[in-house]
Every structure is written in structure tokens, then in C-alpha cells.
Amino acid sequence: MNARILDGTCNPWFYGDVGVRRGKVAFVGSLRNFEAGETIDAGGRVLTPGFIDMHTHYDLYLFQKPRMVSKLLQGVTTIGIGQCGLSPAPVNERNKEILDQYIGFIKAGTEPDWKWNTFGQWLKRLESLELGLNVFSFVGHGTIRLNVMGFENREPSGAEISQMKGLIAQSMEQGAFGMTSGLIYPPGVYACPEEIREVCEALREFRGLYLSHMRNEGNQVLKSVMETLMIGKANSIPVHILHLKVMGHQNRGVMKDLLHRLGDARKKGMDVTADVYPYTATSTTLRAMLPPWVQEGGIGALLERLEDSYVRRKVIDEMRVDWQKENSLRNCDGPSGILILYAPETPEVEGHTLQEAGEILGLRPLETVLEIISRNNGKDTAAYFNILEEDMMKALGSPRVMIASDSIPAVEGGRCHPRSNGTFPRVLGRYVREKKTLSLEEAVWKITGFPASRLGLAGKGFLKNGMDADMVLFDPDKVIDRADFDSPSAYPEGIDRVFLAGETVVEKGYFCGPCLGKVLRKKHY
Ligand SMILES: [Zn+2]
């Protein structure tokens, strides 16, 4: 009682009370004749629906940390997985090993049992974990392609297209919330726009969402946006751009153009949205810097090729010149703009820039990249400082863009991008209170009602009668992230209480259980 209620719409907050019965919101309004077992005085702090983080790579990390305390402490009560083309299902016996290798950089030391094949079996396996929050999943195009074609760099045959479409439809029927693509990673990178358009036909009957980690997020970003829009238009399906950004300081101002295009597309009746994380550094494996041809056949084949000094030289030459007219180094203004986060076999370079890592290993920067990839068997992550804050803030303020973290897990005590543990308090503290980039109402809507409506998360995202009582109580004057690149797991401040299905699961910054998380499945009517 006595809370400033933000109901997950963009309505202005109002003072009121919320009643909870059997895990659901029983009323929102003024308390008069409600007999309660327990009453909590909010003291004028803000009460909102539980936050939804629709973009994480915690698929396998859930086995290691099923309670997801780092998310709950931020107020997140529901997470999405299966992002950027990567999902652990569907998978067949033949491809389990290469899929396991391929998604090594999101395993963070987890060794899953791989006791599933179909998407439905995978969701069941997740259900057997003691989940601290709700989980839903997309199905990954990369995983689908790998099932049918392995890591082959070629066009699919007609029969292979049909097979892929069959797997997508089956996964949608078994509860996927849409299909994601990762068009910079193999095997997604081997698929041309036409192939993506064709396999997305499988989404049409569900009006399923197509979400894309686009082919290019730098100099060619506008072209990539057009590709994404084309796929939506051709199939009459909604589309979504993942972690919207414009990389490369040379592309100052392109974000404004890009947001205009999204607005224009919507005016023409095209259903397009995006998500963004509130940081100026991106993060992924160093392999994302390599030309696609050298990665054909998976990690094993890549590592073998990199043993050949001729191949190494060729790769370095291509990286230097501009493969696909892009250059990760230039986008970061040189090797000092890349920070090595995770490289377990070469711990001496962790926490150092690529420039420093080169000095430590006695190699030039691009040679250092190949050396780290080789010595760590591709299990590395790095941060790239290649986004301008002013551009990111434009995306943050756009009514078409929701907020999500793009979390990549770290091993215990290891480094990761702070977005995993700071995104939500950072938006509320730094970008609402301090920089006034967006209003509190807008920010809360972008992490509750907006993703819930967009994705069709039934019962989530709003504080209204009958909705699930997943809620967050926080102090808008104090809420702030504490995670940074030096202490990426530091807990946020100002999130006072988190409720899941009506039960308090976080109090005064500590997880206190119980584990009431559910696996959510998309329903088709
Ligand atoms: Zn991505």
C-alpha cells in the first residue's frame, strides 16, 4: 500500500494500493475492505510490474545459476533466451557436438547434458530446473541451419529449405516466441537475404516475430535495416532489430536516420520494433572479427586452419583491409578500444585492451586476436568501445525501441560486460534521473508492458487485475547500477523489493527465495 504505481502502460504514476491473491493481482486502487495476511507499506516508493529482459544469452547458464539472482536483484522477473540465432534446440545427435562447441562462448563453464532434441523437449528440460524467475525462448536460425546443413558455406537446396521451415514451424508449435537470426556468426552469416526470406515463410501462419542480429551494424547498417524490413514485408510478419546500434565513430548521426526509417516503415504499415542496451560498448567473441570463410566447418576446422601461417597472414590481411567493408578495429578507433574480458587459457590478457594484450604477448594487435582465439579454443569474449552515447540515447528515447540487456554470462568471478548486471537500474538511474533521456513512465513501459505486448507474454508486463503478481518496488531517487568493467558483477542499489507470483524473492538487495520461476510457452489461438 501507499505506492506510486506505474502500471506498465505509459500512464503517469498515481498513488494507490495493490492487492495480491494466489500469485495474481487482485486489485489496483484504494485499500478499504481488503483483509490481508501481510501488508507492506511502500512509503511512496515506486511499484511497477516485474521487469522483462527479452534479450539474454543465458540459455545454458541457467543450468549453472537457475535462480538467476543477478537478474532478480535488478528487478528482472522474466528473461528471454534463444537470441541472435543461437538456441540449444532443436538439435540432432549428429550435430550436438558442433553446436556445443559453437555456443562455447555462452556456456561460461556449464557442461549441459544435452538430453533433448526438439524445442519442446528443451523447454521441458528447463522446467526441471529450480528457476528463480520466468524464462521464455525464441528459436535460433543458426541452430536450425546447423541441424540441416552443418557449418557449410553454401546455398541450401529446395529440400533443405523445406526441412528448415519444418523445424521452425515445429518449434513455434512447441512454444517458441519467434525466430532470431545472427547474421554475423556462422552458420547464419552463410545465409543470404533470400534464404532468410524463404525460411521465414514458416513464421507466416503464426504471424511469428522475426528478430535479427543484423548482418552489419556499422557502415552498412541502413542496408541491413532494409533487409530486415524486406523479410517482414515479403512474409507479412512482424520484425524486430536486436540490440539496435550504429558502430563506428565515423558513423556519427546515422542513428537519427535509422530511427526515421523505422518510423517511415511503420507509417507504411510495417510492424517493426527494436531493443537497445544502455552502454557504449558492444560485446561478443573475438571470432566475430574473422572473415566467414575461415570459420567454415565450425571451431575445430577454424583452429586447424589457424595453425597454418599462410592462412593466418591471409586472414590478417583481410581483417586489416576491410572484409565485407567493415573493420572492427577502425570502429573502435584502434586496438585500445577493444577490451579482452574472458580468455581462460591466457588469463594474463584478461582485463587488458587489445593494444596491451599485444604488448604482453609480444604480438601485433591482429596477430594477438588470432592467438587468443587459438589458445582459448574460441571461448573468449571481448568488449568493443564503438558506440557514441548520443546515438545510443536517441535509440533509448525512441518510442519504437524497448530496453534489454543482451547478457552474455561470465564464469564465476570472471569478467563480462556490465550490461548483464546493470542494464535496468542504469536506465532508471543514469538515463531517467540523471540525464533525463526519457521519463520514468517511458522507461518502465520499455521494460514491462512494451515487451510483454510485443512478444505476447500472457499475464506479464502490467499491474492490472488478474495479471501475475511479478512486481518491483524501488526508490526512483536512489536506484542506480554499480556494475562496471572493473567490477561487472557489482549489485545495483535502490531496488528494495522484488515479488514473483506474489511472493517476496528479493528484499533489501538480497535474494530470499523461493524459486517460483516458470517456463513460458507462446500460445497460438
Ligand atoms: Zn546479438
Report CA-CA distances (Å) from 159 to 151, 156, 381.
17, 8, 36
Is residue 240 predicted with pLDDT exceeding 60?
yes
pLDDT at 37 (0 to 100): 85
Tell me the mean pLDDT in the region 327-347.
Answer: 89
pLDDT tens track for 255-268: 999 999 999 999 99
* pLDDT per position as a tens digit, 365-386: 999 999 999 999 888 889 999 9
C-alpha 305 – ligand 1 centre gap (Å) = 26
Please check whether residue 164 is in contact with residue 222, taking contact to mean a CB–CB distance below 8 angstroms. no
| Overall size of the chain counted in residues | 525
pLDDT at 292: 84
Distance CA 311, CA 308 (A): 5
Q: In percent, how much of the chain has pLDDT > 90?
A: 79
Distance between CA atoms of 429 and 419, rounded to whole angstroms? 14
- Of 418, 321, 312, 327, which is closest to residue 370 (Cα–Cα)? 312
The answer to whether the pTM exceeds 0.85 is yes
Distance from the alpha carbon of residue 116 to the mean position of ligand 1, in angstroms: 24
User: What number is the average pLDDT over the span 457-474?
Assistant: 97
**Distance (Å) from CA 506 to ligand 1 centroid:** 29
Whether the per-residue pLDDT at 325 is higher than 60: the answer is no
Name the one residue in this structure whose C-alpha cell is 543470404: 192
CA 277–ligand 1 middle distance (angstroms) = 11
Provide the CATH number for the domain formed by 50-284+386-456 in this structure: 3.20.20.140
Beta bridge partners of 385: 281
List, in order, residues 6 or more apart from 174 with CB less than 8 Å away.
Answer: 118, 119, 120, 123, 521
- Average pLDDT for residues 455-481, to the nearest whole number? 97
pLDDT digits (tens, 9 = 90+) for 118-156: 999 999 999 999 999 999 999 999 999 999 999 899 999
Q: What is the pLDDT of residues 164-182, one digit of tens each?
A: 999 999 999 999 999 999 9
Longest dimension (CA), the chain: 80
Q: How many CB atoms lie within 10 A of CB 264?
A: 11
Measured CA to CA in angstroms, residue 445 lies from 12, 335, 399, 400, 404 at distances of 11, 38, 10, 11, 12
**pLDDT value of residue 417:** 92
What confidence score (pLDDT) does residue 324 get? 61
Q: For residue 70, how far is its CA from the centre of ligand 1 (angstroms)?
A: 20
Separation between Cα atoms, residue 382 and residue 384, nearest integer Å: 7
Measured distance CA(126)–CA(146) in Å, rounded: 22
- Ramachandran area for residue 524 (φ above 0: left; ψ -120 to 50: alpha; else beta): beta
pLDDT tier at 308, thresholds 50, 70, 90: very high
Sign of the CA dihedral with 305 first, then 308, 310, and 313 last: positive
Q: From the CA of 499, how far away is ligand 1's center (Å)? A: 29
Q: From ligand 1's centre to the CA of 49, what distance in Å?
A: 26
Could you tell me the residue ranges of all domains in the chain?
50-284+386-456, 286-383
The answer to whether residue 468 scores a pLDDT higher than 80 is yes
Using the Cα atoms of residue 174, residue 177, residue 178 and residue 184 in order, give the sign of their dihedral: negative
Could you tell me which of 136, 156, 14 has the C-alpha nearest to residue 87? Answer: 136
The confidence score (pLDDT) of residue 326 equals 66
Residue 416 reports pLDDT greater than 70 = yes
pLDDT reading at 88 higher than 90: yes
What integer pLDDT is reported at residue 525 of this predicted model? 78
Ligand 1 centroid to residue 6 C-alpha, Å: 30
The winner for highest mean pLDDT among 247-256, 381-390, 431-440 is 431-440
| Ligand 1 midpoint to CA 177 (Å) | 17
Mean pLDDT of the region 403-431: 93
In this prediction, residue 323 carries a pLDDT of 59
User: What separation in Å is there between the alpha carbon of 182 and the centre of ligand 1?
Assistant: 6
* Ligand 1 centroid distance, CA of 413 (Å): 23
